[in-house]
Amino acid sequence: MSGVQDVTASPGRCAIIMVLGIRDYKKAKPKILEVCGKLEALVRSELNRFPDSATGTVLAFGATAWKKLFKGWPVPEELSLFEPIEGEKHLAPSTPGDLFIHIRSGRMDVCQELAGIISQSLDGVVESIDETHGFRNFDGRAMVGFVDGTENPTGDDTKEFATIAPDPQKTGKADFSGGSYVLIQKYLHDMKAWEALPVEEQEKTIGRRKYNDLELSDQAKPENAHNAVTNIKGENGEELKIVRANIPFANASKGEYGTYFLGYAGKFSTTKRMLQNMFQGDPPGNTDRLLDFSRAVTGTLFFAPAPDYLALLAEEA
């Protein structure tokens, strides 16, 4: 089973990711709030028909959309427009987006049906900025051939890192607990250059063995390995994590092969630090070796309210 606003669910075998722009906020608001109110019923209907499909949907809002749709409401503390992160060699760009819809399931036909229903509900008031169809690759591997999501937290830690912790000082509209900041980026891979690398060099780039997914020893792992630069710690030395729902995508006729990065976190500052390490380096210049073969072409920050808060928004209709 999955459900609505479950940011801790597995990436699924199939996914459709939609990034939408709002044309006219006055006309769009009632339709968007209607979707907020009926999203749970839509997903429940699919799960009743296909109980083994593990279908789930996340609806999230960009900073501009939140402020314009919900004037007078509190704004999630870390919700803002994503600022580009530029290093000497690499750039994490910022791209537009007002609404984010993440549909995942064990069946692409279910994803497609939900995407169609939601799109019809928003017809005439939004425009498509991007729609990407993703799939589970062999053994959960990214297009570059390594298992993805290995560094995700497990067990009770998953919810702790993926969602905002409760705060007894905040209630009602100011209570964003259970919600999640989601940073999305589309990466395109230079597969010719990547596949020209010997497997040993690929492993040093990722920081893991390619075939058994074992992490390289500290002695064998370069400082600029992907899983080295994204390993960050808090003030007390504790490891900070996010939940990745990454999904591969491809357009073979265009020679496009990529990874859609979806990072769910209770604190966007954690995701931001990871990106700064990747694109700028800590120390400066020690950038992620994987970026020599993977180029970020989008970057947008959204906030996904918890299910109860989504229902609260729907009451505005």
Domain regions of the chain by residue span: 14-314
Give percent above pLDDT 70 in the chain: 99
The token pair at 194 is: 């990547």
Question: What pLDDT was estimated at residue 317?
Answer: 57
pLDDT-derived band at 297, boundaries 50, 70, 90: very high
Q: Are 203 and 209 in contact (CB under 8 A)?
A: yes
pLDDT-derived band at 315, boundaries 50, 70, 90: confident
Q: Are 243 and 179 in contact (CB under 8 A)?
A: no
Tokens 């279910």 sit on residue: 110
Of 2-16, 20-34, 244-258, 275-289, which range is least confident?
A: 2-16
Q: Which long-range contacts (CB under 8 A, 24 or more apart) does 137-140 make?
A: 137/248, 140/11
Of 34-38, 102-106, 151-155, which range is least confident?
A: 151-155
Q: Examine the pLDDT at 1 and tell me if it is beyond 70.
A: no
Tokens 């380096």 sit on residue: 281
Q: Are 175 and 309 in contact (CB under 8 A)?
A: yes
DSSP secondary structure, 294-311, as one string: EEE---EEEEE--HHHHH
Q: Is the dihedral of CA 190, 196, 201, 202 positive or negative?
A: positive
Count of positions (residues) in the chain: 317
What pTM was computed for the model? 0.96
Q: What's the chain's average pLDDT?
A: 95
Closest CA to 7 of 267, 314, 313, 306: 306
DSSP three-state, residue 227: helix
| Mean pLDDT across 277-282 | 96
Question: What pLDDT was estimated at residue 301?
Answer: 98
In degrees and rounded to multiples of 5, residue 39 shows phi and psi of -60, -45
Condensed to tens digits (0 to 9), the pLDDT of residues 208-244 reads 999 999 999 989 999 999 999 999 988 888 899 999 9
Q: Is 292 known to be catalytic?
A: no
Q: Examine the pLDDT at 2 and tell me if it is beyond 90.
A: no
In degrees and rounded to multiples of 5, residue 115 shows phi and psi of -60, -40
106: exposed, middle or buried (Cβ count in 10 Å: 0-12, 13-18, 19+): middle
Strand stretches in the chain, DSSP E = 14-22, 56-61, 85-86, 91-92, 99-105, 126-135, 180-189, 232-233, 239-240, 243-244, 247-251, 256-265, 294-296, 300-304
In terms of DSSP H, where are the helices of 122-198? 156-162, 191-195
CA-CA distance, 176 to 158, in Å (whole number)?
A: 17
The token pair at 38 is: 């009926």
Q: How many CB atoms lie within 10 A of CB 13?
A: 18
Q: Are 79 and 180 in contact (CB under 8 A)?
A: no
Condensed to tens digits (0 to 9), the pLDDT of residues 22-75 reads 999 999 999 999 999 999 999 999 999 999 999 999 999 999 999 999 999 999
Catalytic residue among 130, 148, 175, 288: 148
Query: What's CA 157's distance to the chain center, in Å?
Result: 18
Question: What pLDDT was estimated at residue 237?
Answer: 84
